[in-house]
Structure 1
Amino acid sequence: MIVLEFKLKGKPQQYRVIDNMIRTAQFIRNKALKYWMENQGVKLSDLYKQCAVIAKEFEWAGKLNSMARQASAERALIAIQRFFANCKAKKPGKKGFPQFKKFSRTVEYKTSGWKLSSDKRHLAFTDGFAAGSFKLVGSRDLHFYAPDEIKRVRVIRRADGYYAQFCINVERVEEALPTGKAIGIDLGLNHFLTDSTGTTVPNPRHLRKSEKGLRIAQRRVSSKKKGSANHRKAINRLARKHLKVSRQRKDFAIKTALCVVKSSDFIAYEDLQVRNMVKNPHLAKSISDAAWSQFSQWLQYLGKVYGKIVVAVAPQYTSQNCSACGNTVKKSLSVRTHACRCGTVLDRDHNAALNILAKALRQAGIDLNTAGHAGINGAIRSLETCNRGDEWQQ
Structure 2
Amino acid sequence: MLKTYKFRIYPNKKQEIKLLETLNLCRFTYNKQLELKINKYKENKVNLTQFDLNNNLIILKEENKELKQIHSQTLQDINKRISLAFNGFYRRLNKREQVGFPRFKSKYRYDSITYPQSGFKLENQLYISKIGQINIIKHREIEGKVKTLTIKKTSTNKWFACFSVEQESKSHSNLTNEETIGIDLGINHFYADSNGNLVDNPKYLRKSELKLKKLQRKHSKKLKGSNNRNKSRLKLANLHELISNQRNDFLHKQSRQLVNNYNTIVVERLQISNMTKNHYLAKSINDASWNKFLQLLSYKVEETGGKLVEIDPRNTSQLCICGNKVEKSLATRVHRCNNCGIEMDRDLMSALIIKEKGINDFSIITVGTTGIQACQRTSIEVQ
1:30: which partner in 2? 31
- Ranges in structure 2 where 5+ consecutive residues have no aligned partner: none
- Please say if 1:153 is aligned against 2:164: no
2:125: which partner in 1? 122
Amino-acid identity (%): 32
2:329: which partner in 1? 332
The Cα shift of 1:348 comes to: 0.9
- The answer to whether the 8 A contact 2:196-2:382 is kept is no
Mapped to 2, the partners of 1:95 and 1:221 lie a distance apart of 30
- Please say if 1:214 is aligned against 2:217: no
What amino acid sits opposite 2:245 in the alignment? R
Mapped to 2, the partners of 1:321 and 1:384 lie a distance apart of 15
Instruction: Pick which of 178-187 and 330-339 moved more.
Output: 178-187
Please give the per-residue CA displacement for 1:341-377, whole angstroms capped at 9, x wherever unaligned: 212322110111122112222221358xx756xxxxx
What amino acid sits opposite 2:73 in the alignment? M
TM-score, length basis structure 1 = 0.85
1:236: which partner in 2? 234
Q: How does 1:1-16 map to 2 (within 5 A)?
A: 1-16=2-17
Q: How does 1:44-59 map to 2 (within 5 A)?
A: 44-59=50-65
Mapped to 2, the partners of 1:138 and 1:245 lie a distance apart of 24
Please give the per-residue CA displacement for 1:142-193, whole angstroms capped at 9, x wherever unaligned: 5x66xxx332111100114111112223336599997732211101111110
Please give the per-residue CA displacement for 1:236-283, whole angstroms capped at 9, x wherever unaligned: 111011011111111111111111122222211112222122222222
Please give the per-residue CA displacement for 1:219-249, whole angstroms capped at 9, x wherever unaligned: 3323432211121111011101101111111
Mapped to 1, the partners of 2:243 and 2:172 lie a distance apart of 32
- The answer to whether the 8 A contact 1:337-1:348 is kept is yes
Q: Kindly tell me: are residues 389 and 31 of structure 1, through their superposed partners in 2, closer, same or farther at Cα, counting changes over 3 Å? A: farther
The Cα shift of 1:319 comes to: 0.7
Q: Kindly tell me: are residues 151 and 23 of structure 1, through their superposed partners in 2, closer, same or farther at Cα, counting changes over 3 Å? A: same
Residue 69 (structure 2) aligned to one of 55, 63, 66: 63
Mapped to 1, the partners of 2:54 and 2:119 lie a distance apart of 17
What amino acid sits opposite 2:82 in the alignment? A
- The answer to whether the 8 A contact 1:110-1:151 is kept is yes
Residue 98 (structure 1) aligned to one of 87, 91, 102: 102
- Please say if 1:135 is aligned against 2:132: no
- The answer to whether the 8 A contact 1:160-1:240 is kept is no
- Ranges in structure 1 where 5+ consecutive residues have no aligned partner: 373-379
Mapped to 2, the partners of 1:315 and 1:154 lie a distance apart of 37
- The answer to whether the 8 A contact 1:178-1:264 is kept is no
- Give RMSD over aligned pairs: 2.6
Mapped to 1, the partners of 2:36 and 2:312 lie a distance apart of 42
Look up the SS of the partner of 2:65 in the other structure.
Answer: coil
TM-score, length basis structure 2 = 0.87
Q: Kindly tell me: are residues 34 and 363 of structure 1, through their superposed partners in 2, closer, same or farther at Cα, counting changes over 3 Å? A: farther
2:252: which partner in 1? 254
What amino acid sits opposite 1:138 in the alignment? K
What amino acid sits opposite 1:361 in the alignment? I
Please give the per-residue CA displacement for 1:51-101, whole angstroms capped at 9, x wherever unaligned: 22222221222321110000111111111122222334x2x3323432222
Mapped to 2, the partners of 1:99 and 1:177 lie a distance apart of 48
1:202: which partner in 2? 200
- The answer to whether the 8 A contact 1:3-1:165 is kept is yes
- The answer to whether the 8 A contact 2:192-2:351 is kept is yes
Mapped to 2, the partners of 1:139 and 1:87 lie a distance apart of 42
1:111: which partner in 2? 117
Q: Kindly tell me: are residues 266 and 2 of structure 1, through their superposed partners in 2, closer, same or farther at Cα, counting changes over 3 Å? A: closer
Mapped to 2, the partners of 1:115 and 1:338 lie a distance apart of 58
Instruction: Pick which of 4-13 and 348-357 moved more.
Output: 4-13
What amino acid sits opposite 2:138 in the alignment? G
Mapped to 1, the partners of 2:323 and 2:174 lie a distance apart of 34
Residue 187 (structure 2) aligned to one of 186, 189, 202: 189
Mapped to 2, the partners of 1:262 and 1:214 lie a distance apart of 36
The Cα shift of 1:334 comes to: 1.0
Mapped to 1, the partners of 2:4 and 2:314 lie a distance apart of 36
